[in-house]
Chain A
Amino acid sequence: MQQSYPDHKGRYGPFGGKYVPETVMAALEELEAGLKEALVDEAFLAEYEEVLREYAGRETPLTYAKRLSEIVGGAKIYLKREDLLHTGAHKINNAIGQALLAKRMGKTKIVAETGAGQHGVATATVAAKYGLECKIFMGEKDMERQKLNVFRMELLGAEVVPATSGSKTLKDATNEAIRYWVSHVDDTMYLIGSVVGPHPYPYMVREFQRVIGDEAKRQMEQLPDAVIACVGGGSNAIGMFTSFLNEPTVQLFGAEAGGKGIETPEHAATLTKGDRGVIHGSLTYLIQDEHGQIIEPYSISAGLDYPGIGPEHAYLKDEERVHYEAITDAEAIEALVKLTQTEGILPAIESAHAVALALKKARTMTSDQSILICLSGRGDKDVDTIRNVLSETKGESHDEPS
């Protein structure tokens, strides 16, 4: 089934498409044409690969988590180390690809949205590298929660614009970025951070992230029995899964943010609990109320805190090719501590969701089987949050980081 989608309308089965105002359509068509040319231009691809290698730090290692595997008992656990990339997460793969494309298309400015700030930092980084003017929209609330990343982006020369509409978080930052882009399409490229948004974004981001799975497949001595990644919008997961979609012996799992539990209203488990609708230009699953108003999701992890999901994931769920399960905040933190203390690897809380799901699966498997986890980012950015959670669990009182 791989590569037969998206179709010419940007559809993954019924999902995807271009649900955007007419004012954006011409820009999407221009982007589609520019992308099509770039992806068959060997000079472009060679430059992309060179920058990934010499600037971002590819290829990333595959680490066998020996102690963790032994302690859990069951399948052997392998980690694809996207956490070791420049800026600390897989986001840079896509930011480099889109920045090069912007340059190739003659755009001098880039605009992006960010939730926790990881995609914003990656975007500001490539903007600095290529001398592009950069505006990052970030929810006012998220700016409060992620002050350090705001400063990092500003230090890199980007302008961080607070999104003050709606719930003042990632979905609103995305709305604002799109609104800004609509008014400045002539010289500006909108650099989306995940496999979401109108066609061709989900497709483009997949193509710039699939390097994760392509590499990992080469690095594994034999095909893994299971591949696991966390999903917010779903870009590291698509990047990891794409190479394995046509391998029927490989089971694929996505870990969604279960927040405080999917039986509570506080979660971001879009595929487990959401239903069909349109968000940010794409028909997909989303968390909404009975009247079709989008509900602000919750997760301890700002990177998974998104009410929608990439349309390809919606399709893979319905096709039952990928199984999506919700992991709670508590499960993610427990897995994070376990990985840190058995392997000396501190994962991002986002990636810890994938680790938690992997631990559940590993226990039910045998030692001649293997699990490949996409360790999408490192946890340095989360140290404050983790410290607060752990001290709460111990019953101590701690001030919220401000």
Chain B
Amino acid sequence: MNRVEEAANNNDQLFIPYIVAGDPTIEVTIDLARVLEESGAHILELGVPYSDPLADGPVIQAAANRSLQEGTSLQTVIDTVRQIREAGIKIPIVLFCYVNPILKYGLHDAVKAASEAGVDGWLVPDLPYEENDEMKKTCNEYGNVLISLVAPTSNERVKRIATEAQGFLYCVSSLGVTGVREEFDARLDTFITAANESSNVPLAVGFGVSKREHVARLHKQGYGAVVGSRIVKEIEKHETMLRDPHQRSKALLQIKTFVQSLVSS
């Protein structure tokens, strides 16, 4: 069984943090992967920075810019995953990557290289159901899963997408882009219930999940939680310390404490 599937099936309080690879540096990303694993994350969603991230809000855009300035590319991220594995970190990794860098790399080559480096799945936010055939086939050929997204506006699309979902079904909690939100979209419960009915895989909810109460509420209902912007914001706050070799471990510890506070209910 694929590592993502295994993690999704075996944890009823699924916790999936998201960070941007190379934010603020590749070295720190490797440390963060370890910190997140130790904090109780079940799957790591690793963002590949992109110049035009349509689905992302300001926090993740800023992180992507920091990373791009470090020279991070899809190739760098694949190499980073290899280093993460070499460092003995076993957490399943899903690459969150816009389609253009994948096409430029060569779809088949990218999936193959990533899989060999230790990637377990992909999430391509601008590759909807109608366009994802080739990506899905290629992922599966290399033992990876392709994660699908459903949104509160998906309506009759939910069933189609949910029945074919792999690993876990990523439910977008509200309209709009990724980001920190106070409240969830009112349609959330109805929509998630509908998605759950059609899905053969566990659900994880993301976009706007930013507080311990959000995570606790989702876990109580039996759904996984994806936390992105809120953790990325915490990394941004510690940028200077993370770049400083003398202060890095202190920063990592503070981030670890914060992440643990998100999941301890």
Contact = CB atoms under 8 A, between A and B. Distances in A.
Interface of A: 9, 17-23, 25-27, 165-166, 171-172, 175, 178-179, 182-185, 276-281, 288, 290-294
A236 B177 CA distance: 32
Interface of B: 50-55, 57-58, 61, 65, 68, 73-75, 98-105, 125-131, 148-151, 153-155, 157, 161, 172, 175-177
B100 A288 contact: yes
Given A25-B154, A292-B74, A20 B104 contact: no
B100 A290 contact: no
Nearest to A171: B52
A19 B101 contact: no
A39 B61 CA distance: 38
A130 to B, nearest CB: 25
Contact of B50 (A21, A25, A293): A293
B99 A21 contact: no
B204 to A, nearest CB: 14
A278 B103 contact: yes
A277 B154 contact: no
Nearest to B101: A292
A301 B150 CA distance: 40
A21 B149 contact: yes
A-B pairs, top 10 by smallest CB distance, nearest first, are A292-B104, A183-B176, A292-B101, A291-B73, A26-B153, A293-B51, A21-B55, A23-B151, A22-B149, A292-B100
A292 B157 CA distance: 30
A332 B24 CA distance: 44
Contacts of B101: 291-293
B123 to A, nearest CB: 11
A175 B99 contact: no
A20 B126 contact: yes
B51 A166 contact: yes
A184 B176 CA distance: 8
A26, A171, A291: residue with the most chain B Cβ atoms closer than 10 Å: A291
Nearest to A19: B126
26 contacts: A9-B130, A18-B130, A18-B131, A19-B126, A19-B127, A20-B54, A21-B149, A22-B150, A22-B154, A23-B172, A25-B129, A165-B58, A175-B52, A182-B176, A277-B104, A278-B99, A278-B100, A278-B126, A279-B100, A280-B54, A290-B104, A292-B100, A292-B102, A292-B103, A292-B105, A293-B68
